[in-house]
Structure 1
C-alpha cells in the first residue's frame, strides 16, 4: 500500500505532508536512525505510526514486529497511548497497545504490538533490571531487540546526566542494528551534534518538516511577573480576556500553578465553564481525570475533526503538557521559560490551521523563580525575544534559529562513556537492583495517599493498617523527587514508610526518620486535594 493511500484510508488525511512521505520512505528503506525535526502539531506521531501500522495491512513485517514509543514524562503516556489506540482501531481490532510506566506496569515485558512508555522504564527493561520483571529478565531486552524504538521530544530531558544516558542508549541501539527514530520540534543544534557524534548520519537520515500551519500567534511580553511577592498579578483587563477565550496558563512550578488556579476560581464566575489544574503531583486516578477534562474543555481533535466546546474553558498547568496533548487554546499566558519550552507551549495555542491566538509572556521573580530551568536559558530567551520583536513563533525556520541561538544542551562526554560501559555490563549480567540504574540525577520516592476517616480501630496504627488493605496503592500513589520527601519529613508531614510482606501479600508501615530513594511513604489525605494535588508546596522545582 502506498503512503498517500494509507493516510487517506486509515488516518482520514487526504494528503500527507512531504516530510511524512519522506519518513515513510526512510522507515521502509530501513535507513536508520532517522532524526525528524518538525513543528508542534504537524503530525510527527502519525509520521512514524503510519508505516509501522501499514505492515498489518500488508501482513508483512519488514520494519519490525513491534513499536516502542518513548516519552520524556509519564504524565504524557496515557494521552499519547489513547491517540495511538484510536488509529490502531481503524487498522485492525487485533493490534495491542499497552502502557508501561511506574504507575501502571500492564506490559512489563514489552510484548504488545505497541508499547507506550517512558525513557526511565525503557532503560530498566533494556538493562534487564530483574526486580522490575521478576525472573524473566531476558524478556524485555529480547522484545526491544525486535522493535522499532521512537524517542519522542528527545530534547526535553535538559540535564547533561540524562542526555548522556540517552546518548549511550542510542549508540548501543545503533551498534546492535536496532531501528530507532528521534523526533523533536525544538532540539538545538548543540544537542543534535552531540547525541549523534558517534553515529553515522547522512542527509537522508535527517528529515526536516518545514510546515506552514497557516496559524498566527501574537506575542506580548509583560514587565511584571505573573506572581509577585506571593500575589497573583492578573489584571482586570487580562481577566476579561480569560472570560471570553479558551485559555491555557502555564507556570514553571507547582506551587505557583496552584496559586493561580485558586485566584482565577475566586475571581471568576465558573457556572458557565470549567477550570482544570494539571501537574505531576496528582494521584494516577486524579491525573487521568484532569487530563481528560482539560482536553474536553479546550478545542481539540476527535477522529480528525476539530471539536470546539461552547462553554468557558481554562487550563492551568505546569510544563507537563508541553508535548503529547493535542488541543488548541485561544489565549496563552505563560511564565518565561527556555526557548524550547516557549515553543512547545505556543504549540498548544492557535494549533490548528487558520487559527489566531494571543501569547502573553511574564518574567519570573529573582532568586529561585527560574527553577527548574537554568537562569541563563531564561535570560537568553528574553533578550533574544526583545531584540527580535517581529519573531513569528509559528514559523519553523525561525523557531529553530531561536533554539539554536539561546540553548546549549548537550551530553557530558565523560558521563556518556562511563554510562555506555555500565549499560553493556547490565545487558551482559543483569542488574539485580534497579536502584543501581538511574536516568536522572534526582531519584524518586512514591507517596501513597490514605484516608484515615475510613479506617477501623481505636489506635491510629490499627486504622492505618486497615486503610492500607482497602487502598489501591497504584491508583492512589504519586512519584516525586526524594528532596520533596525530605521537606515533607522536616515539616512533620511524612512520618511512615511503607513495607510489603511478599509472603502474606500485605502492606505494613514503620516510623521513619529519613527518606530513601525508591521507597514508599504514607501521606494523609489532609495534605492532598484531588483538585489541587499535594499540599503544601514542598519543593519549587518538581513539575
Structure 2
C-alpha cells in the first residue's frame, strides 16, 4: 500500500518527538531480516525502536513482519506504559499523515482490561500489548480470561501472521522457555504469513533461550546492539553516563518515622524523590509519616513570623502512594504520574511505592531510596 512517506527519520520524529538512534534505524530497514535479539541499555529507547520499526515495515515491506505486533510484557504496569506510548505515537502519525487514518490500532490484554471484539477484524494491522499470562496462554490454545470456545480462534491469530516482541525478558520466569519453545514449534510446523520473535532486555543473555527444541537455533539468531556511533550520540551519552551517587542510608531509615524524616530533610524542590519498600504496610506507614511531617511543618510556618518554605501557595510537594491493593480505576492514574513532568519551580514530587515500580517502568528520580 503506497503511502507517500519516504523518510524514516521524519516518520520517527513525528511519532516519538526525537531523531532515531542508529540501532533504531537499523531495526526499521525494510529490506533486511528482522533481528531476533535486541540488547540495549535502559533508557536507550527499545520500545520506540520496535514500534517505529514495525509501523515502517508494515508500510514498506509488509511481508517482513506480521500484520499483528504482539508486545508481550511480564507486568501490567509495563503494559499501561507501553500502551500510552503506542497510542500517542499513532495519534501523532495520523495527525501528520491523514492517509494512515484508522490503519493501525492498539489493543490491550491484561488482568482487568481485556479489549473486546478486536479479533472480529483479523485482517487489520493491530498492536496487541499485554501480559505474558494472557498472551502466551492464547498461543498455547488455553486463553485466560476468555470463553473456551474461542480458544482455537485466538490460537490461530497468535501463531500466524504476527511479530512477537518479548520485553524485559529477565522477569519472565518459566514463560521465557515457553516463548522459545513456541518459536521452535512455529518454525517446525510452519505458519501462515510471517511469524518472527524478538527478545529484548538491557541484560539479555541468549543462553536463556536454550530449550530442547530451540537450542540448535540460538547461536544463529540475528542480534542487534548499540553501535559506537550510538554511544557517542549526545542525547544517549548524557543518559548512559549520568552520575549516580550511592550511599548507605542511616540506620534510622529502618523505621518508617526515620525514613520519613530522612526524606523530609533530603528532598529537593523541583525534583522527584522515589521511595521503594518491600511491603504494602511499610509503604502506608512511610507515606503517613511523610504527610505528617509536611503537615506539621506547614502549621509551624503559619505560626511563625519569619519567612519559610511554606509562605507561598503550593510549596508542599505532591505526595503519592502506589501499591498493589489499589483498585483498577485508581491504578490508571499512575501512568499520568509517571508521564507528568516535574515543575522545576515548584516543590516537586515524592512517591512512596512497593515493587509496583518495576524494572522497565519509565520513571526518573533525583533521590531514590530503597
- TM-score of the aligned structures, taking structure 2 as reference length: 0.75
User: Cα–Cα, structure 1 residues 184 and 20, in superposed 2: closer, same or farther, change >3 Å?
Assistant: same
Alignment of 1:420-459 (within 5 A): none
Contact 1:57 1:91 in 2 (8 A): no
Equivalent residue, structure 2, for 1:464: none
Partner residue, 2:135: 122
Which residue of structure 1 aligns with residue 264 of structure 2?
239
2:25 pairs, out of 21, 24, 30, with: 21
Aligned equivalent of 2:274: 248
Q: Give 1:393-542 correspondences, 5 Å limit.
A: none
Which region of structure 1 is more displaced relative to structure 2, 262-271 or 113-122? 262-271
2:222 equivalent to 1:205? yes
**5+ unaligned residues in a row in structure 1: which ranges?**
300-306, 335-543
Out of 139, 156, 161, the position equivalent to 1:142 is 156
* Deviation of the 1:50 alpha carbon: 1.1
Higher helix proportion, which one?
Answer: 2
Conservation of the 8 A alpha-carbon contact between 2:260 and 2:290: no
**1:71-470 matches, cutoff 5 A:** 71-92=73-94, 93-94=101-102, 95-107=104-116, 111=122, 113-129=126-142, 132-144=146-158, 145-157=160-172, 159=173, 161-175=174-188, 176=190, 178-187=195-204, 189=205, 192-196=206-210, 198=215, 200-201=217-218, 205-209=222-226, 211=231, 212-215=236-239, 216-222=242-248, 224=250, 228=254, 231-234=256-259, 236=261, 238-244=263-269, 245-269=271-295, 271=314, 272-296=316-340, 298-299=341-342, 310-334=346-370
Q: Distance in 1 between matches of 2:252 and 2:84?
A: 34
Using the alignment, how far apart are the partners of 1:2 and 1:204 within structure 2? 28
Distance of aligned partners of 1:65 and 1:327 in 2 relative to their CA distance in 1, 3 Å threshold: same
Distance in 2 separating the partners of 1:316 and 1:174: 46
CA separation in 2, counterparts of 1:76 and 1:279? 15
1:541 corresponding residue in structure 2: none
Distance 1:109 1:327, change over 3 A: same
Normalising by structure 1, report the TM-score.
0.52
> C-alpha displacement at 1:165, in angstroms?
3.3
- Does the 8 Å contact 1:249/1:332 carry over to 2? yes
1:236–1:136 CA distance, 2 compared to 1 (3 A): closer
C-alpha RMSD of the superposition: 3.0
The aligned counterpart of 1:408 is none
Cα shift at 1:324: 4.7
The superposition leaves residues 234-268 of structure 1 with CA deviations (integer Å, 9 ceiling, x where unpaired) of 27554222152321112233332222222211112
SS at match of 1:281: coil
Report the alpha carbon displacement of residue 202 of structure 1 after superposing the two structures with TM: 5.0
- Counterparts of 2:266 and 2:18, CA distance in 1: 34
